[in-house]
């Protein structure tokens, strides 16, 4: 059956390729040729346009494309109390390419405060019309995992239990603030659960002094504490990503190592899962998705290239997944955003929209 509430049978992860107007405006702003007001005016126009494109594809949900951000996560972290961005020796290593050399550290007590992205969401909602406006922010586990203990000032948080308590409360406050701003569909983006599925990444985690299994239990506890008591009319999704930078990736491995903890104990409304290639493994871990209203949004359409998938192949894979979880608990989306950073993936804007039309067409056919 079709769905009238989020997540929708045809859904989207969030980010879109930055149009030339945004790229040019950011260059002009960096050079001092335009001010912040002029930049925001150009962003506003581009966001109105990307909302129109999403609706034209047939989506019931729209995002702002993350057009005001350079990164899917650092820009949000920058707006938190107690977090400082700084330059590092090297960027994040993807498969054959590195990002810009930035990171974040916790230098004082964490807090949400009057975050600037609240205004970003209010603008999106004002131009979303009859579509559901979805806000995307990083998951709390990403803030801890990015630097671990070394990125947390020990004089501020000598005890990590206190840090994790504040981490959960900060996201709890964020959820309430976005809800009060009118948000009824919030997505938490999380690369860490995919790292915990990767043998290579787990070895790196151990080498820095952490236990992958203990981290999984800690992150599940933080997520549940953050979303505990959320309003019934707020849908919260968790997008698990294996890395998405210029069409490359970081981690590989199926969901089995974390499936029982993640799917079996985290009280999220919808899991957005990458399933666009063999690195994602099989559908067997979906057996831990709890029966009922919890949804799993399968990312069977890749955003890493512009080649359109065969609709019949996608339908076949949906049928395979339905062997492990009820078909009415399954939705369809692209596997990730099209531009998790401002650089974007290796496809054109028209290919991007063709991918979304394909998602909508397949969902309408199946459900």
**The CATH number of the domain where 346 resides is what?**
3.20.20.210
Radius of gyration of the chain (CA): 19
12 in a domain, yes or no?
Answer: no
Report the SS3 class of residue 152. strand
Q: What's the confidence (pLDDT) of residue 97?
A: 46
173 in a domain, yes or no?
Answer: yes
Neighbours of 140 (CB within 10 A): 25
Neighbours of 129 (CB within 10 A): 11
204 in a domain, yes or no?
Answer: yes
What residue numbers bound the domain in which 266 lies? 60-366
27 in a domain, yes or no?
Answer: no
Q: What distance in Å separates the CA atoms of residue 333 and residue 7, rounded to the nearest whole number?
A: 10
- How many domains does the structure of the chain reveal? 1
Model pTM score: 0.94
2 in a domain, yes or no?
Answer: no
235 in a domain, yes or no?
Answer: yes
Q: What's the confidence (pLDDT) of residue 225?
A: 98
> Is residue 80 a contact partner of residue 170, using CB atoms and an 8 Å limit?
yes
Q: What's the confidence (pLDDT) of residue 214?
A: 94
Q: What distance in Å separates the CA atoms of residue 218 and residue 214, rounded to the nearest whole number?
A: 6
Can you list the residues of the chain whose pLDDT is less than 70? 88-101, 243-253, 279-280
Q: What's the confidence (pLDDT) of residue 148?
A: 86
4 in a domain, yes or no?
Answer: no
16 in a domain, yes or no?
Answer: no
Q: What's the confidence (pLDDT) of residue 94?
A: 40
Which residues, including other chains, have CB under 8 Å from residue 249's CB and lie 6 or more apart?
94, 95, 242, 243, 279, 304
Pairing relationship of beta strands 81-87 and 102-111 according to DSSP bridges: antiparallel
């Amino acid at each position: 059956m079709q769905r009238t509430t989020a997540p929708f049978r045809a859904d989207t992860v969030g980010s879109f390729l930055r149009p030339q107007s945004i790229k040019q405006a950011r260059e002009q702003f960096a050079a001092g040729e335009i001010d912040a007001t002029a930049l925001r005016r150009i962003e506003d126009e581009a966001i109105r346009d990307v909302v129109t494109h999403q609706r034209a594809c047939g989506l019931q949900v729209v995002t702002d494309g993350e057009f005001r951000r350079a990164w899917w996560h650092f820009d949000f972290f920058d707006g938190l109390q107690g977090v400082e961005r700084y330059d590092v020796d090297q960027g994040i290593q993807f498969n054959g390419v590195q990002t810009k050399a930035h990171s974040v550290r916790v230098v004082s007590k964490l807090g949400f405060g009057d975050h600037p992205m609240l205004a970003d969401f209010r603008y999106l909602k004002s131009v979303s019309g009859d579509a559901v406006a979805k806000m995307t922010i990083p998951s709390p586990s990403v803030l801890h995992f990015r630097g671990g203990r070394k990125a947390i000032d020990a004089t501020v948080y000598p005890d990590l239990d206190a840090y994790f308590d504040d981490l959960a409360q900060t996201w709890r406050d964020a959820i309430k603030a976005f809800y009060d701003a009118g948000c009824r569909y919030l997505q938490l983006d999380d690369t860490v659960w995919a790292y915990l599925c990767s043998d290579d990444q787990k070895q790196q985690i151990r080498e820095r002094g952490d236990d992958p299994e203990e981290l999984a239990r800690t992150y599940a506890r933080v997520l549940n504490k953050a979303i505990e008591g959320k309003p019934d009319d707020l849908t919260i999704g968790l997008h698990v990503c294996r890395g998405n930078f210029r069409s490359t990736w970081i981690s590989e491995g199926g969901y089995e190592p974390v499936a029982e903890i993640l799917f079996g104990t985290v009280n999220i409304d919808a899991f957005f899962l990458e399933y666009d290639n063999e690195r994602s493994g099989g559908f067997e871990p979906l057996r831990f998705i709890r029966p009922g209203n919890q949804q799993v949004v399968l990312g069977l359409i890749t955003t890493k290239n512009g080649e359109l998938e065969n609709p019949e192949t996608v339908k076949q894979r949906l049928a395979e997944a339905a062997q492990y979880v009820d078909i009415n608990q399954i939705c369809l989306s692209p596997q990730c955003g099209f531009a998790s950073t401002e650089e974007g993936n290796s496809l054109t804007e028209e290919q991007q929209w063709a991918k979304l039309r394909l998602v909508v067409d397949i969902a309408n056919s199946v459900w």
